[in-house]
Amino acid sequence: MEEFGTASAIAEAVRARRVSALEVVDAAIARIEARDPTLNAFVHRGFEQARQRAAAIDSRIGDGQDVGPLAGVPTAQKDLFNFYPGWPSTFGGIRPLRHFSLDLKTTYPQRMEDAGAVVLGITNSPVMGFRGTCDNPLFGPSRNPFNPDHNSGGSSGGAAAAVADGMLPIAGASDGGGSIRIPSSWCGTFGFQPSYGRVPMVMRPNAFAGVLPFVYEGPISRTVRDGALAMLALAGHNPADPFSVANDVDWLGALDRPVKTLKIGLATSLGGYPVDPRVAGAIGAAARGLEEAGMTVVPLDFALPCSHAELTNLWCRMMAGMMISVFDGFKAQGLDILGDFPDSIPTELAQWIDIARGLSRREVEADQELRSRAFDMLQGALYGVDMIACPTTACLPVKNALDGNTKGPSEIAGEPVNPLIGFCLTYLTNFCGNPAASLPAGLVDGLPVGLQLIGRRWADADLLAACAAFEAARPWQDSYAICAARPLA
């Protein structure tokens, strides 16, 4: 995509007929075919359908029609609760679902195509998105474009790898515990997780998602403007989602809002998480970039409502509850994945499912009460500041495993952590509904570090303004030269 620049530049050039949508899509396909064998970002390629769609966009432009703000922009959807007619959906590399598909389009591909984008395929994810790394027994790991020996982060790891490597300017991601932000941190991209309800999440058979943490959809991009452009397409009410809200944000206008009145609370440990000192140092340096952009940065001291390990386990129990309903749904249709294909499910996920099945009603209520304490803690921490700055992940990208089961570290700064998601300072917003973003904060030992900004509920415009100002003060585009120069398979 470097031939045509950012998504914003692509859309402008396609609308002005300086380049055709088909030329843009062909260039993206060529880059994917050349570069993806090293990274394993894509698990399905729908190139012929993409070419047909691009040709149709060119025809409509030739007839004088408005094709939308994302005219001709190549993108991809994630292999997790996203569907496209005729394309497989394996829920993150579950082997018996290799050929499973549904004859419908979910929110991301539908709204992006309605805005003129072209969906090229499906990107990799871990099984059920149940970890902060990207690996599974069917497709294997998605590798980091800055160093393919390392992982891209999860669960939207294929999406972030494809964007950082220049295959796509924007990719779709979902976030149940940090899955937009974690891979953005490890791949040096911009990941935006909006307030819950901004982008509809249509879930069935339980429209109210039971006792789940909030699950979001949002974009991963190389620039803040491209992320805002995607939100222009994605945000808006859908009556099928009981939590969906009307779009009242000027997503592009937010980029130019003044930020001099914004106060940022710097909380390097986010109330009690262990953080690699190298990551902490990079976040401290990035905080100075916020000041250079005109914002006020103050130290923010608060305490988690319990240990970070207890909060991590809370997330695992709650998310495993959703997995039960999914697997039980397949079993009711005659496909007993847990019973007949146990090797297709990581041991760690199976263990948490067993734990979740054994919870009493009172234990489920107690989990929601602990979640409520986490909610009160985060909202209280934001009292007096507009947003919180902290690491996105507490460690650098880990090396890929060889068995399809890459995990995070089991210890950080001398403290034990859950290797599934305990190294991620992200899932608090999934308990609480606040918007958050991950911004490239620089490199440590040649690998990206992410700066997370957590905003007040519904203050998405303030958050985007802060992100745009930081990008202007500390631009990161030159770092992608490292990805461009990496050896190809």
Percentages of the chain per state (helix, strand, coil), in multiples of 5: 40, 15, 45
Helix (H), strand (E) at residue 219: strand 216-221
* H/E run at residue 444: strand 436-444
Catalytic option among 8, 174, 179, 221: 179
From 20, 78, 125, 174, the catalytic residue:
78
Query: Annotated catalytic, 78?
Result: yes
Which residue in 225, 220, 234 sits closest to 254, CA to CA? 225
Q: What are phi and psi of 467, to 5 degrees?
A: -65, -45
CA distance linking residue 198 with residue 121, whole number of Å = 24
Cβ distance 214 to 180 under 8 Å?
no
- Sorted by sequence, the CB contacts under 8 Å of residue 386 that are 6+ apart come out as 262, 263, 264, 455, 456, 459, 462, 466
| Rounded Cα gap, residues 252 and 270, in angstroms | 30
Do 67 and 33 form a contact (C-beta atoms < 8 A)? no
In this structure, the number of other CB atoms found within 10 A of the CB of residue 242 comes to 13
| Active-site entry in 89, 142, 155, 185 | 155
**Residue 360 is encoded by which pair of tokens?**
């009493």
260 is catalytic: no
Closest CA to 373 of 225, 489, 271: 271
Q: How far apart are CA 435 and CA 194, in angstroms?
A: 5
> Cα separation of 168 and 109, whole Å?
15
Whether the Cβ atoms of residue 170 and residue 221 lie closer than 8 Å to each other = yes
CA distance 329 to 353: 14
Contacts of 382 (CB under 8 A, 6+ apart): 265, 388, 434, 454, 455, 456
Amino acid at 485: A
184 has catalytic annotation? no
What does the DSSP assignment read for 39-108? H--EEEE-HHHHHHHHHHHHHHHHTT----TTTT-EEEEESSS---TT----TTT-GGGTT---SS--HH
DSSP-assigned states of every residue in 339-394: HH-GGGS-HHHHHHHHHHHT--HHHHHHHHHHHHHHHHHHHHHTTTSSEEEEESBS
Active site residue ranges:
78, 155, 179
